[in-house]
Amino acid sequence: MEHLIDIFTFDPRNPLIFTRLYFWIFFAIVLALYSVVYKRKSLRHGYLFAISLFFYYKTSGMYFSLLIFSTLVDYFIGHGIYKARSELNKKILVGMSIFVNLFVLSYFKYSYFYIDSVNSLFGTDLKVVNHFAELANLFTDSHFDTSRIILPVGISFFTFQTISYSIDVFRNKIRPVNSIIDFGFYVSFFPQLVAGPIVRASEFIPQLYKEYKVTKHDFGYATFLIMQGLVKKMFISDYISVNFIDRIFENPLSFTGFENLMALYGYSLQVYVDFSGYTDIAIGVALLLGFRLPKNFNSPYKSQHVGEFWKRWHISLSTWLKDYLYVPLGGNRKSSLFTYISTAIVIVAIGLFFNWIAGLILLLVMASLLIFRIKHHTNLNLMLTMLLGGLWHGANWQFVIWGGLNGIGLVVYKYWKKISPFDGVNSWIVRFYAIFLTFNFISFTRIWFRAQSMDSANGMMYQISNDFEFALIPQMIVSYKYVFGVMLFGFVVHWLSVRIKDWYKDSYINAPAWAKVIIATIVVFIIYQARTAELQPFIYFQF
């Protein structure tokens, strides 16, 4: 009886995630029951909505109530926008949707950030109070800790989905969903709920009204993606993280510059295989249920410039920022009043709160763009989008620095392209150099993305610049041979040509069932041998 209770209660030490055997038992049961209800759309959607809420409860506990809250708010606002007769009323309602969603997101994600910044600036000693926990204790006689605010898993992802829904209804791109169950299912669909991809209503909702259809090819592709994602996460990401990367970033001054540099390259690999691995599994699981999720990665380290990188990396977020932030700011055409107001706020914030060296650099760049706004106004939109995109990743100025550096990279490339003697040159040497340069720049910016503090980031840069220890490199390669071997495997597979990747993917999909079983067994054995003793959550769960 006690074990049965454990199955249906939240345990923060045992969340329901893709890398646990518990999830795959759960999913097998879900599929078995799904085979009974999938032909009746209303029953199918209600069933998957309930399963998705349970999944989120097992991942985030009582925070699943936030998911219900977001669903209710945007469902009724969406209908209100559609029925409103005046343009003003429509704008008020869509503004309400944006405000409510961003308020909830900001409260849970940025409260410590705001309080720490105010305390640092004014010398105060303000404390964070969890008012939601206070209300829960008041009305339910619970005993939640009111002195801490815990970030609900995936809140950034489902918040962006509900915002895009209201905006798309406002823009007349979609009609509001009639059934609140259908809308709740769209918002909470469990494969992509906690780490994306960010699915737009216009892409997903039409699928709700189609008959379930999974072909033999679809089944093969889905299982291929699931196995590929598990290998990425558990064989590559977790192994190099636990055995090398985490140790270096925890105390970079205790390791040589070579080790720090290899940890930086390793983290670029880790964050890619970890996040794209989750996406592969999510797309595969969704496809088995009859739903198609958008592609989220396209070999980003093959990019020849920063602009191309952001078209290949976290595609659902990049396109979301472009359509719902960059374009409203004015895009490539102009800068709006909102652009200048936001830029002024960013510049003041940078000057007040940043590490002064990094802040001064970004302050000068932003101020220069503002001064020359007539000629270079679109760069303001670009920089502001990247700075806010950095802040989306976390409530920390290091993420803003990371976003700002990527924004600078995009702006610099725009001007370099106009004078580059290599633009349009189709030579493997030019391509190799461009890919090498882009990869190193992206890896360099990740110092601030991954480092635990500014001191840690500065320490890593110092070690790489001043304490490389060239004479010890052969010895270190031998010492870390297994870690470097796994890293080499990950990079080689990533840089394989599309033709080779399609070949082994199609070979698996077209293989007979007995061959698929053998391949799956081998993959499971490899993953089992490589698994780490402690749970390693997906990196993007924290965003």
| CA-based nearest residue to 292, from 396, 192, 376, 380 | 192
Side chain identity at residue 109, one-letter code: K
Q: Per 3-state DSSP, what percentage of the chain is helix, strand, and coil (rounded to 5)?
A: 75, 0, 25
CA–CA separation, 459 and 441 (whole Å)? 18
CA 453 from chain centre, in angstroms, equals 21
Helix (H) or strand (E) holding 216: helix 216-230
- Give the list of residues 6+ apart from residue 159 with CB closer than 8 angstroms, or none: 70, 101, 102, 104, 105
Do 391 and 400 form a contact (C-beta atoms < 8 A)?
yes
CA 205 from chain centre, in angstroms, equals 22
Do 419 and 355 form a contact (C-beta atoms < 8 A)?
no
What single-letter DSSP state applies at residue 536? -
CA–CA separation, 393 and 156 (whole Å)? 9
| CA-based nearest residue to 19, from 226, 157, 195 | 226
3-class SS letters over 82-134: HHCCCHHHHHHHHHHHHHHHHHHHHHHHHHHHHHHHHHHHHCCCCCCCCHHHH
CA–CA separation, 370 and 344 (whole Å)? 9
Helix (H) or strand (E) holding 487: helix 481-494
CA–CA separation, 533 and 189 (whole Å)? 30
Place of tokens 């840690």: 456
**Two structure tokens written together for 267:** 């983290």
Do 317 and 309 form a contact (C-beta atoms < 8 A)?
no
Do 443 and 264 form a contact (C-beta atoms < 8 A)?
yes
Side chain identity at residue 18, one-letter code: F
- Give the list of residues 6+ apart from residue 399 with CB closer than 8 angstroms, or none: 390, 391, 393, 448, 449
Q: Is 393 one of the catalytic residues?
A: yes
From 305, 314, 377, 393, active-site residue: 393
| CA-based nearest residue to 274, from 307, 245, 302, 303 | 245
| DSSP annotation string for 265-334 | HHHHHHHHHHHHHHHHHHHHHHHHTT-PPPP--S-GGG-SSHHHHHHHSSHHHHHHHIIIIIHHHTTTT-
Instruction: Point out the residues that are catalytic.
Output: 393
